[in-house]
Structures are given as structure tokens and as C-alpha cells.
A = this chain, B = another copy of it.
Amino acid sequence: MSPRGRRPGGVDTRAAILDAARTEFADAGYDATSMRGIARRAEVDPALLHHYFGGKPQLFAAVMDIPVDPAALIGQVMQGPREELGSALVLIFLTVWDSPSGRERFQALIRSAVTHAEATRMLREFLVREIFGRILGQLYADGPAPTDVELRAGLAASQMVGLAMMRYIVEFPAVVQASRDELAGLVGPTIQRYLVP
């Protein structure tokens, strides 16, 4: 109905932005993709991207069907006391993915990450930059970080990913049956020790 060129606002525009973002993230990875580049490919004004999605991490979450705003999640985790960071992270993470639709989305995310190199790369860059980069930046904003801080971030991620693999994919019985609080109590200290040694 609309002539070729910049699209008017509405459902089509949102879908066009998501399509363009999917292609750009897959081609260039998370870090090298810019909101301007996505806007150019979608043939829309860059302001519309911000209007519909907020920023790049939120747009990425929409593309990957991640049911949470990463920035809001981290804000919530960092609000609590520093000595409870680990269990807060586990609890929030499980609350996001434990719903039936969360579980299916996690399965799809992991399947795509282990079978497509470009999905692996996007996810890796997103984890490094938006999740653990932000947490560690805030944790060590006022003082020196441990020298192996990136390795520690990777290990925290490894425990979270492995926990979700056992609960949502391998379905190891005792891990499926455990309550979120029980898991936060047992796994929280692991995350805590990695991130705040």
C-alpha cells in the first residue's frame, strides 16, 4: 500500500526493524552492529528504533526472543546488598526462564547457539558486553577489579548456562524438581565467589 522508501509507523515498521536487526546482528555480530546501520537497512528513521525498542540491548533481546530487558534485570540485581549478588542473580535468572514460554525460548536459544556459528557469536558478544560487562563495571566502579575479572565473569556465565541446560534441556530430575529458592541457596554462593572474590 505504501510507496517504496521510508515506511510510516505501525506494525510493519516494527517488523521491518526486527528483520533488519536480525540480518545485521547475524552478519556483523553484536558489537559491530549499529542502530544507524539497522535503521538504514530497514529504511526507517533511527529515532523510530529508539521509539520502539529503547536501545541496542533491548532490540537484540527482541530479536533473540529473550523475555527480559537486560538493563532492567541488571539494575534489579545491583539494587540489593553486594553480599547477596549471587543468589539474587540466580533467582532473577530462573524467574525469567522458568515460565513455560521462557523454557521454550531458552531451548530455542541454546539450539540455535550450538548449531549456528553466527548465533553463538552474537550471544557471546552480548553476554560479554551487556550482561557481565555491566555487572562488573558497576561492581568495581570505585576500586580495582581482580586481574582475572573476565575469566570470573565467564565462569559465572558458565554456571548459569549449565544450570539452565540441566533444568530446561537435559532435564536432570533433581535439578528440574528443585525450587528456585533452593537453587538460589546452593548456586548463589558459586556466582558470588566468582564475581566478588
Contacts and interface: CB of A to CB of B under 8 A. Distances in A.
A150 B178 CA distance: 10
A35 interface: no
Interface in A6-46: none
Interface stretch (A54-62, A64-72, A76-84, A166-174): A166-174
Nearest to A111: B114
B186 A157 contact: no
A53 interface: no
A158 interface: yes
A113 interface: yes
A34 to B, nearest CB: 22
Interface string A103-133: 0000100110111000010011001100000
A123 B172 CA distance: 10
Interface residues of A, number: 43
Interface string A132-165: 0000000000000000101111110111111101
A50 interface: no
B115 A190 contact: no
A169 B127 contact: no
Contact of A169 (B120, B174, B190, B194): B120
Contacts of A173: 128, 150, 154
A175 interface: yes
Interface of A: 107, 110-111, 113-115, 120, 123-124, 127-128, 148, 150-155, 157-163, 165-166, 169-175, 177-178, 182, 186-187, 189-190, 193-194
